[in-house]
Homo-oligomer: A and B are copies of this chain.
Amino acid sequence: MEKTLWKHIQTVRLQAPLVHNITNYVVMNSTANALLAAGASPIMAHAKAEVKDMVAIAHALVINIGTLDEYWADAMLLAAEAANAKGKPWVLDPVGAGATPYRDEVLQQLLSWRPTVIRGNGSEILALAKANKCKTKGVDSTAASLDAVTAALALIEQYGSIICISGATDIIIDNQQSIHFHNGHALMTKVTGLGCTASALIGAFAGVIDNKTEATVAAMSLLGIAGELAEKEAEGPGSLQVKILDKLYTLQEEEYCRQIKITRL
């Protein structure tokens, strides 16, 4: 499978998919830079007057509710509807799901447009599935990702999405299989928005790769390995953020295949 995943990374670099992001203010710069470093072409646009037009020209849509409000929620729903209608892949990042009733309400509406992929931490996936009543603490994960698997299976059944649960172990689940990743490094949780970056990269890969599960796995493996390699040279979270972008851009096949730690269940 490593050869296939690497081929997908090359495909993104060669085809430069246009990724339309409606994402949060905190991560817009780092997300755009990560997409560029991975070879994709980012566009950020949220005006209700143009989101449908942007979806039409993009290869994929990524919706991240981190700093949502009423206007942005409307724009997200318009864009998700357009993606669904046109059969364009779209990724939902349910940042802070469960933190407030408002977030959960908007998320329920977004789910009805059947996201191609949902990526969140364990707490967010649990909250999204209303599988428990746990309070999410900010945007960090408090529920171990393994505990969220049951919640993910419920979401898959209801919406047909692929679910990616981020954590010390990343778990990617579709209706047939479960893939576990052991790449990445704990210091990555001290850099804001790497989860959001992961979602954006999934969008880029889903935009040009037919098998959306493989696209998700490839995107997660690229970021995890870039993070792992970057951490070896970093002196803290500031330099880690910078070096991850460098590694996303420079990563080569040999190093990728040496680092990847993947388990299929």
Contacts and interface: CB of A to CB of B under 8 A. Distances in A.
A50 interface: yes
A158 to B, nearest CB: 25
A32 to B, nearest CB: 4
A75 to B, nearest CB: 8
Interface stretch (A18-26, A121-129, A215-223, A257-265): A18-26
B37 A190 contact: yes
A160 interface: no
A8 to B, nearest CB: 20
A43 interface: yes
A190 B16 CA distance: 12
Contact of A49 (B44, B70, B246): B70
A11 interface: no
Contact of A70 (B32, B47, B190, B249): B47
A27 B27 CA distance: 11
Interface stretch (A80-88, A111-119, A173-181, A230-238): A230-238
A147 interface: no
Nearest to A238: B245
8 contacts: A29-B29, A29-B193, A36-B237, A37-B238, A47-B68, A50-B100, A235-B250, A236-B250
B32 A29 contact: no
Interface residues of A, number: 63
Given A26-B29, A99-B53, A190-B37, A138 B42 contact: yes
Q: Which of A24, A47, A53, A70 has the most CB of B within 10 A?
A: A47
A243 B237 contact: no
User: Which among A54, A70, A71, A192 has the greatest number of chain B C-beta atoms within 10 A?
Assistant: A192
A251 to B, nearest CB: 10
Which of A29, A37, A102: most chain B Cβ within 10 A? A29
Given A29-B193, A49-B70, A102-B47, A237 B246 contact: yes
A108 interface: no
Contacts of A239: 242-243, 245-246
A57 interface: yes
A89 interface: no
